[in-house]
Amino acid sequence: MKSKMQFILSMIIFGTIGLVVRYIDLSASERALLSSFLGCLFLLLIFFLLKKKIAWNLVKSNALFLILSGVALGGNWIFLYQSYDHTTLANATLGYYFAPVFVMILSPLVLREPLSMKKIMCIIVAIIGMLMIIGEGVNASRSDDIVGISFGLIAAAFYAALLLLNKFIKEMGKLELTIIQLGTTTLLLIPYVFLTEGFGIFELSSSSIPFILILGIINTGIGFLLFFSGMEKLKGQSIAMLSYVDPFVAIMISAIILQEQMTIVQIVGGVLLLGSTLISEIKAIHFTKPLMKRE
């Protein structure tokens, strides 16, 4: 029960990310840099308090995939945060949760895993659901929604790449891997942010500081700590089922707190998308929720 509660709490924390970033007066890349930096520092502190040591020989042997996964994580966060800026929290979340579909499509090519008829049907249903969500935005002439959903889909593609890359990283513990990936993302984003955004990150408004700390320490650091602590004793199917607490919380926040509207067609599309990806994972779990926003 303790493991299940830890995992559910981590999903609730991840589900609030979209709300938190709305109150940070920075660009998406600046938010990504600060969240990865603060999250890395927090987890590094926990790591050393647990008297663990980083196996640098494993870091060296996995260096290429760690760098690529750092790029994927950075791209994931940048586009996810941009998605939140352009559309509703619900739309951004649904676009982001197209990632399992990308994984299913790419698995035969990258991992040499055959697609079952069940997965093919789930892919088709998920695509229909996403088309309903996007098509309704087009019909309503909400061009900004289309941009936001598109950013969510790009974030999902980076997230899928992260999931696949993690399959090639050998022998590293999950917490250790997360710290290295967050640190790598931070190092990669520093020059990118200063070349594209300049030094505006140092002009952070006082009202944004508490939310940056929440994003970095709670949403990233504590979120991942609870996630890994909880998943250790949970079965794969339990992880798959409980992972959908995250989008449920995000959509509830969108509807109740932010009072953002979704049409009936978009709601049906969201049900088809989330339902098909959930069904595809039952009895065939290959991946767990990694670094996300999610990180």
The per-residue pLDDT for range 255-269, each reduced to its tens digit, is 999 999 888 998 999
Check residue 203 and give its pLDDT.
Answer: 80
In a domain, 72, yes or no: yes
Identify whether 290 is part of a domain.
Answer: no
Could you tell me if residue 295 is inside a domain?
no
Number of domains, the chain:
1
- What's the pLDDT tens digit per position in 130-177? 999 887 655 555 668 889 999 999 999 999 999 999 999 998 988 999
Range of the domain at 127: 2-281
Does residue 258 belong to any structural domain of this protein? yes
Secondary-structure percent of the chain, ordered helix, strand, coil, rounded to 5: 75, 0, 25
User: 214-253 pLDDT, tens per residue?
Assistant: 999 999 999 999 998 888 788 777 887 889 999 999 999 9
* Whether the Cβ atoms of residue 4 and residue 183 lie closer than 8 Å to each other: no
Q: What average pLDDT does the segment 48-56 reach? A: 91
Residue 286's pLDDT band, with cuts at 50, 70 and 90, is: very low
Give the percent of the chain with pLDDT over 70.
93
Task: Judge whether 193 lies within some domain.
Answer: yes
Let me know if residue 293 belongs to a domain.
no
Q: What is the pTM of this model?
A: 0.89
Task: Please report whether residue 93 resides in a domain.
Answer: yes
Alpha-carbon distance of 33 to 24, in angstroms, equals: 13
- In this structure, what token pair is assigned to residue 273? 């998308």
User: 294 in a domain, yes or no?
Assistant: no
Burial tier of 21 (Cβ tally within 10 Å: 0-12, 13-18, 19+): buried
